[in-house]
Amino acid sequence: MKYAKNILETIGNTPLVKLNRLTAELPCLVLAKYETFNPGNSVKDRMALQMIEDAEEKGLLKPGGTIIEGTSGNTGMGLALAATIKGYKLICVISDKQSKEKIDVLKAMGSKVYVCPTDVEPDDPRSYYSTARRLADEIPNAWYVNQYDNKSNTKAHYLSTGPEIWKQTDGKVTHFVVGVGTGGTISGVGSYLKEQNPDIKVWGVDTYGSVFKKYHETGIFDKNEIYPYVTEGIGEDILPENVNFDIIDGFTKVTDKDAAIYTQRLAKEEAMFLGNSAGAAIKGVLQLQQHFTKDDVVVVLFHDHGSRYVGKMFNDQWMREKGFLP
């Protein structure tokens, strides 16, 4: 008989799926690395398990301990899977711009959830970064994950996601495009692919209100670039240590409106029911079309599942309130 010993053994080995209608005008083959096939419905399952296993090995996470993390929801879900199987308690600190569905799912998985304001500086005591650190200091036998600077995040994608893409494309991948948040996915996958073929181009998708694109192009951390935005899961107002700018060839920025509209279009035209960052990612691919030729194989990674955005990007009333639909 063939079966997984527990749900954690089903993480990874997600399929590549060809895009057809939305990419019809592009000269190249566009393949989606479809990460919603992970048991927690997102790419973050990979790094959540890697970070926990590495912390156990280093003695940072002890039996019966409490895992604490600031998350936009998906990393929290991955941590919840591993915490349940391994017998840890979990506290997730999340910003108030994230969808209600994400908060409800975390609670359903047994996590305690703290909700913090989005529109504050990262070092403000009310921010979800600061709150997570404070709780880790206050609670006995607690471990603060810190996915932004924890290099096990990048390691997970170097060891799994990158090799999968290389093998699935038979080494023919020419471009990798992905939304950038903590930076683990783009840095891990990008590093692995460039080791196999230095000519592979690695593109990050950023959002307006985030610092990544300007910092990559100028080396300047411009606080004037920072302002609240709607798009979930990508962009930052900090520079996470996991973002390896040296392996990124460039960034393209996608508006909140385009990200939301293309999230809906993926469902209605490709039957791909995906999260908000997938809309940003596919619009980013379309914006980069001048970089592609007929011989190219472009892999775009889609992070998470549409069920976490039913009340937002898949709700036409919400879309109209935001000015995204007429």
What whole-number distance in Å separates Cα of residue 274 and Cα of residue 264?
9
Classify residue 158 by its DSSP letter: I
Q: pLDDT for 101-146, tens place per residue?
A: 889 999 999 999 999 988 888 888 888 889 999 999 999 999 999 9
Contact of 172 with 297, CB cutoff 8 Å: yes
Percent of the chain's residues with pLDDT above 90: 91
Q: In CATH terms, are 7-41+160-321 and 44-144 the same topology? A: yes
CATH number attached to the domain at 7-41+160-321: 3.40.50.1100
Please confirm, yes or no, whether 44 is among the known catalytic residues: yes
Fold held by 44-144: Rossmann fold (3.40.50)
Contact of 254 with 284, CB cutoff 8 Å: yes
What whole-number distance in Å separates Cα of residue 226 and Cα of residue 236?
8
**Mean pLDDT, rounded, for 314-325:** 97
Q: pLDDT for 31-42, tens place per residue?
A: 999 999 999 999
The ranges assigned to domains in the chain are: 7-41+160-321, 44-144
β-sheet with 250-254: strand ranges across? 16-18, 29-34, 297-302, 175-179, 201-207, 250-254
Strand 250-254 with 201-207, pairing: parallel
Catalytic residue among 33, 44, 201, 213: 44
Strand 29-34 with 16-18, pairing: antiparallel
Q: pLDDT for 226-243, tens place per residue?
A: 999 999 989 999 999 999
What whole-number distance in Å separates Cα of residue 224 and Cα of residue 209?
9
